């Protein structure tokens, strides 16, 4: 009986000791975890962690080394209780060498309880340290070894199995804390670099969330728009203190259905500066399916006032020259006509030569006419607004383009809402503009392609869009398309003057509206024109 009771008491004592030991281990891990989770600062975490570990295992000295994968080295980052300073000028051990190499290669803890400094070391000066016991444990994070946690003592036989067990357990806690701090530092560094790039670029940049709230505005954008970022951040674009015309155009661009492409337009500021604006969607990979989804927009602003002024100077020069050339050309055409009717006209070869000359002269004349048209539009000469029913206008334009459609076997669709009110327009100019868009769509779209003329109303604007499934236009060319003489095509067989779109733009602006383009190379183009629906348009 007594024997049994003694055995039970002994067993109970052993169990209690075991339990206490386990509890101590858990407490030790808890202490270290609490200490290292207080900061995301890597240096601070290194020192707090080392101190907490040394207190917990009762060692006088220790060190933490991290693996520098890029350099292929194990680098001592924190030490305590050593004679020499191996951190300021760090101890770097090539991966695979020395005791640390052994720990990493075998993913194991090594213990030396009678370190007599007889074996060769990767860093020979370590022999000057007075340690007689040492233990090194690998630290893991995200499934791999990220470094080594070491403890040392000047006495022999300092580290027993229990200390080693605790060391092994806390090593991973420290590893994870250091890895988090390292990741955090890397992300802060990335953010700082990105922010430096954003703030030093010469372009204005505004980024918005998916719902249009402003998430970032760089210094150039603040300067160009004369706003302060603190007045803009987190505000919906709709409420941002921006010039009304910019805000409206941006809102339209953001609400546009063509989320997949850039939206480019120009706006004038009150102080007569002109900004070119590019609005592009930002994509992120969807967590749910394979598709990418829009995460917001980035708006890039460039001051193009100098370009605009150069454009204006060029226009003035061309228009003056066009005036001077028009009269002599008229005289030449008359003279050719008279020559054809006179005796030289009896000779078929002479007639043919006269016809060739007359065709060339008329082509130059139509170029000059286009230039003068532009001048008229800009000066407002011969421009008269009338109340116009849009439906017959669309019919007339569609009938006029029909031979070109037939010639290239193009499918043509007209998509009209049923309730467009009468607008105040110069019918001839608007018809000219629509024909220019449609003629381009016919010209640049391949045989058998598709063209849609689509009208829709949005707030106080009527949008007229010509959509084709032709070759599309490179992004870098898009912002220049509406400039005079600008041609994006390198196909010299496609005839053109580069004035068609400039005329459309002038027509739209003369009506108080604007033009826009959405296009992706290889995926067709949408050319748009906006007209004001309100009767205020008459006053423009």
Which stretches of the chain bind ligand ADP, using CB under 6 A?
436, 440-441, 444, 468, 470-471, 473, 481, 486-489, 496-502, 525
Considering beta carbons, is residue 217 or 464 the nearer one to ligand ADP?
464
Q: What is the CA radius of gyration of the chain?
A: 39
Counting other chains too, the contacts that 509-513 makes at CB distance below 8 Å and 24 or more residues apart are: 510/377, 510/378, 510/380, 510/383, 510/426, 510/429, 510/540, 511/385, 511/425, 511/426, 511/429, 511/430, 511/537, 511/540, 512/536, 512/537, 512/540, 513/461
And the tokens for 153? Answer: 């003592």
Q: State in angstroms the smallest separation of the CB of 445 from ligand ADP.
A: 7
Considering beta carbons, is residue 341 or 523 the nearer one to ligand ADP?
523
Considering beta carbons, is residue 100 or 319 the nearer one to ligand ADP?
319
Considering beta carbons, is residue 101 or 496 the nearer one to ligand ADP?
496
Considering beta carbons, is residue 179 or 370 the nearer one to ligand ADP?
370
314, 316, 322, 327: CA torsion to nearest 10: -160
Q: State in angstroms the smallest separation of the CB of 291 from ligand ADP.
A: 28
Q: Please count the other Cβ atoms lying within 10 Å of the Cβ belonging to residue 377.
A: 23
Q: State in angstroms the smallest separation of the CB of 488 from ligand ADP.
A: 3
Q: How far apart are CA 85 and CA 20, in angstroms?
A: 38
Q: State in angstroms the smallest separation of the CB of 517 from ligand ADP.
A: 8
Give the CA distances from residue 434 to residues 372, 397, 410, 424, 500, in Å, rounded to whole numbers and listed in that order.
19, 7, 17, 16, 10
Q: State in angstroms the smallest separation of the CB of 464 from ligand ADP.
A: 14
Considering beta carbons, is residue 131 or 444 the nearer one to ligand ADP?
444
Contact predicate 204/223, CB 8 Å: yes
Q: What residues are paired with 462 via a beta bridge?
A: 457, 531
Considering beta carbons, is residue 462 or 502 the nearer one to ligand ADP?
502
Contact predicate 517/525, CB 8 Å: yes
Closest C-alpha among 365, 504, 372, 376 to residue 440: 504
Considering beta carbons, is residue 133 or 263 the nearer one to ligand ADP?
263
Q: How far apart are CA 487 and CA 177, in angstroms?
A: 59
Q: How far apart are CA 97 and CA 79, in angstroms?
A: 20
CA terminus-to-terminus distance, the chain? 114
Q: Please count the other Cβ atoms lying within 10 Å of the Cβ belonging to residue 442.
A: 21
Q: State in angstroms the smallest separation of the CB of 41 from ligand ADP.
A: 56
Considering beta carbons, is residue 62 or 449 the nearer one to ligand ADP?
449
Residue partners of 321: CB distance under 8 A and separation at least 6: none
Give the torsion sign (CA, 471, 477, 478, 482).
negative
Q: State in angstroms the smallest separation of the CB of 537 from ligand ADP.
A: 25
Closest C-alpha among 362, 312, 327, 365 to residue 506: 312
Q: What residues are paired with 453 via a beta bridge?
A: 414, 466
Q: State in angstroms the smallest separation of the CB of 527 from ligand ADP.
A: 6
Chain residue at closest Cβ approach to ligand ADP: 496
Considering beta carbons, is residue 103 or 438 the nearer one to ligand ADP?
438
Backbone angles phi, psi at 133, to 5 degrees: -125, 140
Considering beta carbons, is residue 62 or 500 the nearer one to ligand ADP?
500
Q: State in angstroms the smallest separation of the CB of 319 from ligand ADP.
A: 17
Q: State in angstroms the smallest separation of the CB of 503 from ligand ADP.
A: 8
Q: State in angstroms the smallest separation of the CB of 502 from ligand ADP.
A: 6
């Amino acid at each position: 009986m007594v024997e049994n009771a003694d055995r039970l008491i002994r067993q109970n004592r052993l169990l209690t000791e075991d339990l206490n030991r386990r509890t101590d281990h858990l407490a030790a891990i808890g202490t270290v975890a609490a200490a290292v989770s207080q900061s995301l600062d890597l240096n601070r975490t290194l020192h707090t962690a080392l101190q907490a570990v040394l207190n917990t295992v009762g060692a006088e000295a220790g060190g933490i080394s991290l693996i520098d994968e890029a350099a292929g080295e194990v680098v001592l980052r924190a030490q305590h209780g050593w004679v020499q300073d191996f951190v300021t000028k760090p101890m770097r051990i090539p991966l695979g060498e020395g005791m640390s190499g052994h720990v990493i290669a075998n993913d194991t803890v090594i213990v030396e309880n009678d370190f007599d400094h007889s074996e060769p070391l990767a860093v020979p000066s370590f022999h000057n340290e007075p340690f007689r016991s040492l233990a090194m444990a690998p630290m893991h994070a995200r499934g791999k070894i990220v470094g080594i946690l070491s403890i040392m003592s000047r006495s022999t036989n300092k580290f027993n199995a229990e200390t080693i067990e605790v060391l092994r357990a806390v090593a991973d806690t420290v590893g994870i804390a250091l890895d988090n701090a390292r990741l955090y530092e890397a992300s802060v560094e990335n953010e700082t670099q990105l922010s430096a790039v954003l703030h030093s670029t010469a372009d204005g940049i505004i980024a918005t969330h998916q719902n249009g709230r402003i998430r970032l505005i760089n210094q150039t954008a603040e300067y160009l728009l004369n706003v302060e970022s603190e007045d803009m951040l987190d505000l919906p674009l709709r409420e941002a203190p921006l010039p009304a015309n910019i805000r409206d155009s941006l809102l339209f661009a953001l609400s546009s259905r063509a989320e997949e492409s850039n939206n480019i337009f120009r706006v004038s500021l009150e102080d007569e500066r002109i900004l070119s604006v590019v609005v592009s969607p930002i994509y992120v990979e969807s967590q749910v399916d394979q598709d990418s989804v829009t995460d917001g927009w980035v708006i890039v602003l460039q001051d193009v006032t100098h370009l605009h002024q150069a454009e204006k100077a060029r226009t003035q020069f061309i228009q003056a020259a066009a005036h001077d050339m028009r009269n002599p050309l008229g005289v030449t055409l008359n003279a050719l006509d008279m020559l054809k009717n006179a005796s030289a006209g009896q000779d078929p070869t002479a007639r043919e030569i006269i016809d060739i000359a007359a065709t060339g002269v008329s082509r130059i004349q139509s170029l000059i006419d286009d230039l003068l048209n532009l001048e008229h539009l800009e000066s407002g000469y011969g421009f008269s607004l009338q109340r116009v029913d849009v439906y017959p206008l669309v019919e007339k334009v569609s009938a006029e383009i029909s031979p070109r459609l037939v010639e290239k076997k193009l499918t043509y669709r007209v998509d009209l809402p049923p309730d467009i009110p009468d607008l105040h327009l110069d019918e001839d100019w608007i018809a000219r503009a629509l024909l220019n868009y449609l003629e381009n769509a016919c010209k640049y779209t391949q045989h058998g392609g598709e063209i849609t003329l689509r009208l829709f109303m949005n707030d106080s604007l009527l949008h007229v869009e010509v959509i084709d499934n032709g070759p599309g236009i490179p992004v870098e060319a898009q912002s220049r398309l509406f400039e005079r003489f600008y041609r994006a095509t390198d196909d010299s067989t496609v005839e053109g003057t580069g004035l068609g779109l400039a005329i459309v733009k002038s027509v739209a602006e003369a009506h108080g509206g604007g033009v826009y383009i959405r296009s992706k190379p290889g995926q067709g183009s949408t050319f748009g024109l906006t007209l004001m629906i309100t009767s205020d348009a008459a006053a423009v």
